[in-house]
Structure 1
Amino acid sequence: MNTKKISLLIMTAIMAFTSCEKATETAKRPNILFIMSDDHAYQAISAYGGKLNHTPHIDRLADEGMIFTNACVTNSICAPSRATILTGKHSHINGKIDNLMPFDTTQITFPQIFQQNGYQTAMFGKLHFGNNPKGVDEFMILPDQGYYLNPDFHTPRGDTTIVGYVTDIITDLTLNWLKNKRDESKPFMMMYLHKAPHRPWWPSPEKFEEYTKKQFPEPKSLFDTYQNRGTAAKTAEMNLLTHMMYSHDSKIRPELLEKMGSKVTPVVEEFQNGFYGPYNRATEEQKKLYNVVLDSINEVFEKEWPTMNDEDKMRWKYQRYMQDYLACISSVDDNVGRVLDYLDESGLAENTIVVYTSDQGFYLGEHGWFDKRFMYDESFKTPLIVRWPDKVKAGTTENEMVQNLDFAQTFLEAAEIKAPQDMQGESLMPLLMAEKEKWNREAVYYHYYEYPSVHMVKRHYGIATKEYKLAHFYYDVDEWELYDRLNDPCEMNNIYHDEKYTDVVNELKEQLDQLKLKYKDSPELAEQFIQQHQNIKVDKGNEFW
């Protein structure tokens, strides 16, 4: 063999070794599985101490990782929350201040950065804005809110419809990608995004049957009169008795409502096609399964509703709400268990960061409400659980103030990727790695914009610390509210005007001004968004609100 051939072989061997070494180094970077449900209240996760239901598979993540008890959002509404997560920026920066305003598509999202740095990326489930997510190699996403039954999906190859129940289907797609489409030479960043338990809360047939037989404990503030709160709480349109819909939400057939006429009080405005829109997605076989339970619910309603007083009606609506909502969550928990089992069986669990969260919290009858939007805890706080074997100590609880604003930078640091300087969050790595001395955040900033609109929750911004929460409701009012989070955890008493808290108010207002400056928010920006919002038509007939 001549010298040239020997040299060529040596060079080839060196290149192959170097390439192999680089591939090995790349493979060592952690995989990331980001699991997010829609409107999953932390009160409906048993790991958070909730008494409503049992979520063994989500609890398993908490047992094997870290659970955050003061995780919160920057803007408690679906699409803006998702935009904040993807960009690591507040709503006024990424442009998605509410469900109507367009997302600024020039924004860089963290999946793009992962893709550019050697990660394989995928997204299955609910995105809620845009049909072609940037930085995602493979996706199948629900259009807008999507359907529970036989859902449609956007894909890179066009639209398709899949027969079945949405929570099961999203999981099937996720598992199929992990098993059959994943490039094993690359780390992956997977977004596994559930539609459930978003309104209108259609459970799978078997969960529907199971949960309608259950009764659930009522929250202490179910019959809240808002006497110690301001205008915003008194005028919001999300009360179970007066705003939760009979057909769309409680599954009462429109024909029965028409038949009963004036016997159905209070009168509640219904979404057009609110019942048959979701129900008619079902096949005839699926309808047969649902009809057994639907007939039972409607028979009880026809017989008992006219004899009930308002207190009884409130309790009846609460139980119907919880039966459907928690049934949807039970399916989410079952399917999370399927994915966790596969990670264990395949050996992927050892090098995969698993995150479970929701796009925000939700009211489960607290203050008499459903929905979200307010800065009060049930809406403001969100579940957050992180498992990272051999990195995050199992069974730990963290009470520092963290936000969905922080997710992007956390994932990037975990993957040893430098985050863009214009991201506004803080990496949670010091907390995850038990290096709390490196964490210095004392307060978080919140801003809600979508008013006037569905549920009529007034615009407000505010600051929250572990001890206090200060909110300013503006636009058509000028009211401040202060809550002692430690001594009044249900936030029933506004102490803003209590002289004992004058120093607290002054200190929080100063901190609030500093946060607005830090995050580049201003009254001028808010006014600009108000004017833009007023030019967009709000369709209250949309069944997906």
Structure 2
Amino acid sequence: MHRIIVGALLALTVFSCAKPKAQKPPNIVIIVSDDHTRQAISAYGSTITQTPNIDRIANEGVLLTNAYVTNSICGPSRAVLLTGKYSHKNGFRRNSDSKFESDQDQFVKHLQAAGYQTAWIGKYHLGEDPQGFDHYEILPGQGYYYNPDFLVKDSGRVNRTGYVSDLVEDAAEEWLDRRADDKPFCLIIGHKATHRTWMPDLQDMDIYDEVTFPVPGTFYDDYEGRQAAMDQDMTVDKTMIMDYDLKMYPDDSKDRNITRMTPEQRAQFDAHYKLIHNELDSLNLSGRDLVEWKYQQYMRDYLATAESMDRNIGRTLDYLKAHGLDENTMVIYTSDQGFYLGEHGWFDKRFMYEESFSTPMMIKYPGVIEPGTKSDALIMNLDIAPTILDAADVAVPEDIQGKSMLPVLTGRDKQGREVLYYHYYEVGEHNVSPHFGVKTERFKIIRFYNQVNAWELFDLQEDPEEMQNLYGTEQYQEVQKEMKAKLLEAIKKYEDTEAKEIFYQEINSPKIDKK
């Protein structure tokens, strides 16, 4: 049973009442990072970095320790956030070939109808025609870290000089300055950080140069019994590219990530990485020594890239406070999914394994959520849209598949979700086979298909790192049967017809009767 336990020792206290009826509609600020994982956030206990401004949201609200995504990939995750519907319902299954139909129902459109001003600033990654927003300034596609272009509503493409995290925050504050003071607002801030290729702000490039990070215990995983994990192409060892990812550029590099820099930016950037390149050449590394060198450089760049984002999230919080907005503004911080920081030897995301399936999420809501709250309830990014509508006292459309988290956050519902359903669709990217599955508090079952046809079952209590596939073992036959039944129930509940058809294409175990 998932619940919020009340007690000072465990710091799991919440208010016992919902939003007061007399309270004005809250302002909403949603901050969405890219590939920023819980392992890199000090509020979640990270020992490799500090994120003091992200932590402020948790310290002033609730830290959700069991937040998950429905589809661990950039664009589809944002589509789920906006629609409150699974990928097969909102139509955006894959980055590679899906088109987001922005004329479909989205929670921001309901807020607009209720009198809210709405804006999306920063990375959007759902095309170039956002709807439901009074204003937008979005990065085309992935955008760039240095001197990026923005697509500005009613103005077209605009190039701006500077570092992307600063520029996104600048644009967000400028919109807040222009908004009408007599209306509530919903602002979504989409950060590019910490997406590949992890290019830090110039002022942050060297902050981890003297740090040696511990290699994860699963770094040299041999993937025994897990064919899909064995077949992937996302290892630090074989997949991470020396010049593209780690900036060990040849002198004549034409990488657009750096050729768009100003001469002054380029000179400082080159000076930093040239020293590292020279050191690498002098070491003449090979084998595991070279792999672990790549891992250290990856971690330094990834965490340094997060530094500017955290600093600018602090600017957002400071702005709200300085303008008297913080006491009636709900602030949500989340990422589009988790990410691998060397666990299982990987970077990237996609899998339903914990590091990429889970996502950071914390919510600050003065007067409703008591500061310092921690909740272990199972929730999903699917639940953000109905939560916001609920908080704004706007009717939640019946076809939204998520459910409001407010009853959990206010203590009226101690349980949260019993089952989490997941479906990943990409074919070819990093050679991660499509798959779907369900997770409960203790167990997880996954059905891989397409490249790999296989089932996997994990006991997360006994094997939290998901190293031992228990599917087909005699000891877990009853659990296997129960989890398959839960999976089929979820497939039917969410009307995932593709998954239902694949479910019955059994491999090596008894079929469950169709009903």
The answer to whether structure 1 residue 354 and structure 2 residue 331 are counterparts is yes
User: Post-superposition shift, 1:86?
Assistant: 0.6
CA deviations over 1:57-89 (Å, ceiling 9, x no partner): 111111111011110000000000010111000
Equivalent positions of 1:265-280 (< 5 A) are 276-280=255-259
Equivalent positions of 1:281-300 (< 5 A) are 281-300=260-279
8 Å CA contact 1:212–1:324 kept in 2: the answer is no
* 1:161 alignment partner, one of 159, 162, 182: 159
1:22 counterpart residue number: none
CA distance in 1, matches of 2:219, 2:194: 20
Q: Which has the higher helix share?
A: 1
1:61 counterpart residue number: 57
1:405 counterpart residue number: 382
CA distance in 1, matches of 2:388, 2:499: 33
**Amino acid across the alignment from 1:400:** A
* 2:85 alignment partner, one of 86, 89, 94: 89
8 Å CA contact 2:377–2:416 kept in 1: the answer is no
CA deviations over 1:484-507 (Å, ceiling 9, x no partner): 112211111111122111111111
Structure number with bigger Rg:
1
2:136 counterpart residue number: 139
Q: Secondary structure at the match of 1:128?
A: coil
1:509 counterpart residue number: 484
Give the TM-score of the pair, scaled to structure 1: 0.86
CA distance in 2, matches of 1:496, 1:212: 43
CA distance in 1, matches of 2:184, 2:474: 56
* 1:499 alignment partner, one of 461, 464, 474: 474
**Amino acid across the alignment from 2:344:** H
2:5 counterpart residue number: none
**Amino acid across the alignment from 2:265:** Q
* 1:242 alignment partner, one of 238, 241, 264: 238
CA distance in 1, matches of 2:142, 2:498: 31
8 Å CA contact 2:488–2:500 kept in 1: the answer is no
CA deviations over 1:273-332 (Å, ceiling 9, x no partner): 7x621011100011111121111111012211x3x2311111101111011100111111
1:270 counterpart residue number: none
The answer to whether structure 1 residue 77 and structure 2 residue 64 are counterparts is no
CA distance in 2, matches of 1:288, 1:255: 13
* 2:457 alignment partner, one of 482, 499, 504: 482
The answer to whether structure 1 residue 209 and structure 2 residue 206 are counterparts is yes
**Amino acid across the alignment from 1:295:** K
Q: Secondary structure at the match of 2:133?
A: coil
CA distance in 1, matches of 2:98, 2:30: 25
User: Post-superposition shift, 1:440?
Assistant: 5.3
Q: Percent identity?
A: 45
The answer to whether structure 1 residue 338 and structure 2 residue 335 are counterparts is no
**Amino acid across the alignment from 2:421:** Y
8 Å CA contact 2:235–2:347 kept in 1: the answer is yes
8 Å CA contact 1:357–1:385 kept in 2: the answer is yes
Note the residue ranges of structure 1 that are not aligned, 5 or more in a row.
1-24, 257-272, 528-545
2:342 counterpart residue number: 365
8 Å CA contact 1:252–1:298 kept in 2: the answer is yes
Q: Secondary structure at the match of 2:430?
A: coil
8 Å CA contact 2:118–2:187 kept in 1: the answer is yes
Using a 3 Å threshold, how does the CA distance of structure 1 residues 67 and 440 change in structure 2: closer, same or farther? closer
User: Post-superposition shift, 1:345?
Assistant: 1.5
Equivalent positions of 1:35-46 (< 5 A) are 35-46=31-42
CA distance in 1, matches of 2:136, 2:94: 24
8 Å CA contact 1:443–1:463 kept in 2: the answer is yes
The answer to whether structure 1 residue 315 and structure 2 residue 292 are counterparts is yes
User: Post-superposition shift, 1:149?
Assistant: 0.3
User: Post-superposition shift, 1:523?
Assistant: 2.9
CA distance in 2, matches of 1:501, 1:325: 39
8 Å CA contact 1:27–1:187 kept in 2: the answer is no
Q: CA RMSD in A?
A: 1.6
8 Å CA contact 1:220–1:366 kept in 2: the answer is yes
User: Post-superposition shift, 1:174?
Assistant: 0.9
8 Å CA contact 2:112–2:118 kept in 1: the answer is yes
